[in-house]
Amino acid sequence: MKFGICYCYWSKDWEGNDYPKMIERARACGFDALEIFWGRTLTMEQQEVNEILAASKANDVEIYVSGGFGKEEDLSQADETERRAAVEKSKRLIEAIARLGSHNFSGINYGAWCKFDRPIDKEKSFEQSAKSLKEIGRCAADYNVSWNMEVVNRFENYMLNTAAEARKLADMVDHPNINILLDIFHGMIEEDDLAEAIRTAGSKLGHYHMGSNNRRPPRPGFLPWQQVVDALKEIKYDRCISFEPLVRTGGSVALEGGNVWRNMLPADADDTYLDDLIKESLGYIKGMF
């Protein structure tokens, strides 16, 4: 089992220019992976790529890539010309993240994130997305990348709100490199049973996100953490659990999908506080395995 931390825990923005430094910080806090947003991976200069690769090797920390697609990247769109363009961009993205030594891309990568600007026909959207993902799966296999479709709440996407819907789309695609990302925050909103959602995803579960009900780091509370951990053990899940706390206001995380409208940390929280908090959280979850 690997444990990852999302870059945005330490930043108010989804993306940054200090990934080698944050790779070292992730290892110092006990994590095996640093999860970064996908956008800049397409335009990184080779020098930055080399620095990330060197830091990853030196610290034994893997890069995971995640994020949500916009209208241009929407793999479910009905217009064939636009859908084809989205598929080709997805292939370029796979090549870009492979440059970083990454083997995982997770997120709203089957439709569009927070876009509800066209009539909703879920069956048609599923058909178009499956058509796209079959081709993307072949490309992902060439680069040994798991393309993990994130199940999110109804306020962020209309296609995959439950593990059952994600499993349906994964089965339609039927490719070993097209898998599912479950996130306990979204599941808390949409699922009847968080542990059963894990069982539904089963062998197609390629990634798991953890955070508390208000998106602070995992901690004791009313979420059924032990039931979730037991379900992960039951399906013999051995990939990565990433922590995705969204705790900062005033940047792109808050304004572009994260919706953080109040300070989630003490006013005097500094780097030491953040690191101590996430170490404690990691120990809490690891202690259940």
Helix H, strand E, coil C: the string for 119-145 is CCCHHHHHHHHHHHHHHHHHHHHHCCC
Helix-helix angle 122-142:163-173, to 10 degrees: 60
Q: Which of 35, 62, 150, 156 is catalytic?
A: 150
Is 150 considered catalytic here? yes
> β-strands 240-243, 178-183: how paired?
unpaired
CB 143 within 8 A of CB 95: yes
Q: For residues 216 and 34, what is the distance between their CA atoms, to the nearest angstrom?
A: 17
How crowded is residue 102: how many other Cβ atoms within 10 Å of its Cβ?
A: 26
With 0-12 CB in 10 A as exposed, 13-18 as middle and 19+ as buried, what is 15? Answer: middle
With 0-12 CB in 10 A as exposed, 13-18 as middle and 19+ as buried, what is 39? Answer: middle
| Residue spans of alpha helices (H) in 29-73 | 46-59
Q: Which of 62, 165, 191, 244 is catalytic?
A: 244
Is 73 considered catalytic here? no
Q: Which residues are catalytic?
A: 150, 244
